[in-house]
Amino acid sequence: MKFSYNWIQELVPSLKASPTDTMRQITLRTAEAEGLEPVGQHFGKVVSAKVVEVEPIEGSHNRKVVVKSAQYGTRTVVCGAPNVRVGMVAVYCPPGVEIEGKKLTKAVVSGVESDGMLASGKELGINRDHEGIVEVGGGIGCTPDFIIEIDNKSLTHRPDLWGHYGMAREVAAIYGLELKDPVKVRPFPEELACIDVAIKDFTLCPRYSALIFENVRVQPSPLWFQYRLESLGLNPINNIVDVTNYVMAELAQPMHAFDADKVQGGIRVRNAHESESIAALNGDAYQLDGSTLVITDDSGPIAIAGVIGGSETAIGPATTRILLESANFQAASVRRTSTRLKLRTDASMRFEKSQDPANTVRALARAAALLQQVCPGIRVKGGLTDVHTELRHPAPIVLPLDWLSRKLGNDITPAQATKILARLQFGVSELGENELEVRVPSWRATKDISGKEDLVEEIGRMIGYDNFTPVAPLVAAAPPPANPSRAFQHQLRTLCSQQGYTEVYNYSFVNAEQAARFGLSPESHVRVLNPIASDQGLLRRSLLPGIHRNLVENAKHSASFRLFEIGYEIHPVKGQPPLEIPQLVAAVYSRQDGEGNLNELKRLLACLNPALTIQPTQALDFEHPGRVAEVLLGQTSIGRLFELHPSLVKGRAAIVDLNLDLLKLEAKQYRPVRKFPSSDFDLSVVAGPRVLVASVAALLTDPLVERTEYLMLHPLGDGRNSISYRLTLAAPDHTLSAEEIAMARERIITRLREAGLELR
């Protein structure tokens, strides 16, 4: 959004602050300014000059032109404009002036020395006409200006700031200056309105005001008028259309002018019929639907409400009467229409911000005054048409000053709060010793101020947040209650990460296919009523589907990796909230050689708790039939250790799945370095084919045995196996003698024989 500093200064006549300081204060107290751009700086040096001589240059379309001005006297320039002629008053630009980013110098053109140039409206930044040089009447009337550009997003909640008067109100409040209202609301003629207006749905169109003007003469606007619009990015078209754009830029109230002689019958504001279409002013045709609010006459749609007018009733050179519309439309309706049609206009952008319905008649009054300037002799025909629903006034807001001071962190006196709010044109009165009653003006009540919290912001920003001393709030702090479960899971994460496992996070949702792959029926799951995706309609009863998906995806890119996840299984409980069971699932994947994967997970189990043991168990459908075991803590089964069935993954993947409610981590105890040497010896035990290595190792115990290490298993060829172990013996207080070692060895061998095992 662009704002002219000169325009703001006209509305705040005593403003002396520089454009730079004004922009800075707007940023600090109102809305974020993105930059300051000087425009029309050449108007300090260019002058109006009379063409006194025009002479063709042989062999060129250019002409030698002599101009005369009071400031620069007689100068000769070379000009190629087709409209240059003797007697016209043009704009002369002397050497040294910067035009369109280039500094003019004396130059020889077509063999003639040109001392400056005569400029077109486009070159001067007055309009977009570059066909010929601009012709002036009683002076140029344009002055250097600065454009303050404001970030549109910071104005979304402030519909009043989409016009210069609203921003001038802010500037006047910031500097404590008087604000000049550009609208002189005089009574309109006490006559019957010349146009009949009917609104079908006042929710979509709360107010529609209109006037008929006659004795209209369509012509270009004065140069200063065009320059002001052009500097804001609004294209000057003609005096009638330019007035509607001027009022929009000043009061933030979009307007539209129809050629009254092309309007057939009365005005109707309604939703379009499905079969209707409209040819718009931009040259495009739009197919309408039932959600599009339109302005119609007896022939059909003549404008898309709040967005764009139709070409059938457009103002043209032959227009002698106009119907000037100033209406208010529902923001959401305009936004939907603009989005559906992919058509954003200056009008729609303002209506989308919820404009003030009270502004329509003010805009007509301002337009009537401007039309008198740009179209002499124009006059109002008939009275004002003003159809509206009951205009609601927001309820007053009670503002407790002690609460206000507490919120801002500074003591705010009643006089200080009253002064700030009054400068912003809020109505303020005292309710009691420490309370104010604040009446919100209509232009702040549509989408902005609704409660006392909003008034805190108004007062705080006008004081200036840079004037508040930052003080940390004094809040009693207390340590949160201990959360053993969270600490336990954090400890698990650290341990798994230290062992080379990468943590993954999966959604708590699965689909029926994923559940069935792991032997779970969809009916046994908690079903999501409003799933975020069609394939995530069940709350998981196992972490395995997610880990399986991780294995499949990562196997495409890596030959080996380790993963783990800590999460919750969610089990339905009839008549009660679902039961959430914390689980740890770890996986080791190898694309080719995966023989050691199960042993790697056994090592992880030993890190979690050395007391964990495993024993073979019956395989489930998704488990390898010969590589599966239960994980036991004492006599309690707390999970499963298995290799994933080969049909589910390319390569080999071993998985351990543990119930964390049953797992206990063993506290690590410090053990001093042994002071005395140990002694090792190996034993090979002959056992049957189904004897477990761990069950044999459980027999190799003795008070002197410090460590038992499994070495290997060797088939003997008769259905039996030779299982080898290495035993380490040591004593904490002395070096073992040969006799002690022999006795310990004998005790172990005796225990093996009592169990029916032989030594090899």
> What average pLDDT does range 295-299 have in this prediction?
95
Would you say residue 416 lies in a domain? yes
For residues 746 and 621, state if they share a domain.
no
Summarised one tens digit per residue, pLDDT across range 627-675 is 999 999 999 999 999 999 999 999 999 999 999 999 988 777 787 888 8
Whole-number pLDDT of residue 521? 92
Whether residues 233 and 293 share a domain: the answer is yes
Structure letter (DSSP) for residue 310: B
Supply the CATH number for residue 745's domain: 3.30.70.380
Amino acid at 327: A
Is 620 a member of any domain?
yes
The reply to whether 664 falls in a domain is no
Indicate whether 207 and 256 sit together in one domain.
yes
The pLDDT score that the predictor gives to residue 191 is 80
Share of the chain above pLDDT 90, in %: 83
DSSP conformation letters of 325-364: EEEE--HHHHHHHHHHHT---HHHHHHTT---TTHHHHHH
pLDDT in tens, 129-173: 999 999 997 788 999 999 999 999 999 999 999 999 999 999 999
Orientation of helix 239-251 relative to helix 164-175, angle to 10°:
40
pLDDT, tens digit (0-9, with 9 covering 90-100), for 689-715:
888 888 899 899 999 999 999 899 899
Task: Say if residue 221 is in the same domain as residue 301.
Answer: yes
Domain CATH code at residue 91: 2.40.50.140
| pLDDT computed for residue 694 by the predictor | 85
Query: What's the number of domains the chain is made of?
Result: 6
Residue found by looking up tokens 């702090």 in the block: 477
Domain boundary among 367, 388, 409: 388
Contact 116, 93 (CB under 8 A): yes
In terms of residue numbers, what domain contains 263? Answer: 197-388
Q: Is residue 158 part of a domain?
A: yes
DSSP-assigned states of every residue in 186-218: PPPPSS-BSS-EEES-TTT-SEEEEEEEES---
* DSSP character at residue 262: G
Asked if residue 339 and residue 405 are part of one domain, the reply reads no
pLDDT in tens, 36-82: 999 999 999 999 999 999 999 998 999 999 999 999 999 999 999 99
Decide if 671 is inside a domain.
no
* pLDDT recorded at residue 629: 94
Structural domain includes residue 340: yes
Domain match, 240 and 255 both: yes
Does some domain include residue 473?
no
Residue 551: per-residue pLDDT? 96
Instruction: Describe the strand order of the beta sheet including 379-388 as a list of residue ranges.
Output: 256-259, 322-328, 207-214, 379-388
CA distance linking residue 672 with residue 651, whole number of Å = 43
**What local confidence, expressed as pLDDT, does residue 420 receive?**
95
**Are residues 344 and 424 both part of a single domain?**
no
Q: Is residue 182 part of a domain?
A: no
User: How high is the pLDDT of residue 692?
Assistant: 85
The amino acid sitting at 237 is I
| CB-count exposure of residue 473 (10 Å: 0-12, 13-18, 19+) | exposed
The candidate with the shortest Cα–Cα distance to 139, out of 188, 97, 196, 90, is 90
Both 491 and 594 in one domain: the answer is yes
pLDDT band for 299, please (50, 70, 90 cuts): very high
377 and 236 share one domain = yes
- Can you state the angle between helices 414-423 and 164-175, rounded to 10 degrees? 150
* Closest CA relative to residue 360, chosen from 371, 351, 349: 351
pLDDT at 138: 72
Q: Whose CA is closest to 651, among 630, 624, 614?
A: 624
Query: Could you give the CA distance from residue 375 to residue 625 in angstroms, rounded to a whole number?
Result: 96
Say what percent of the chain tops pLDDT 70: 100
- Dump pLDDT digits (tens) for 548-567: 999 999 999 999 999 999 99
Assign 3-class secondary structure to 130-173: CCCECECCCCCCCCCEEEEEECHHHHCCCHHHHCHHHHHHHHHH
pLDDT score for 668: 73
Which of 353, 368, 388 finishes a domain? 388
Which DSSP string do the residues of 613-680 spell out, in sequence order? EEEE-PPPTTEEEEEEEEEEETTEEEEEEEEEPGGGSSSEEEEEEEETTT--PPPP---PPPSS--EE
- Tell me: do 328 and 446 sit in the same domain: no
Query: Is 456 in the same domain as 594?
Result: no
Q: Model confidence over 349-399: pLDDT tens digits?
A: 999 999 999 999 999 999 999 999 999 999 999 999 999 998 888 899 999
Q: 393: which residues sit within 8 A by CB, 6+ positions away? A: 442, 445
Model confidence pTM above 0.75:
no
Average pLDDT over residues 512-516: 91
| Same domain for 290 and 149 | no
CATH number at residue 154: 3.30.56.10
Which residues make beta-bridge pairs with 472?
none
Q: What is d(CA 194, CA 185) in angstroms, rounded to the nearest whole number?
A: 20
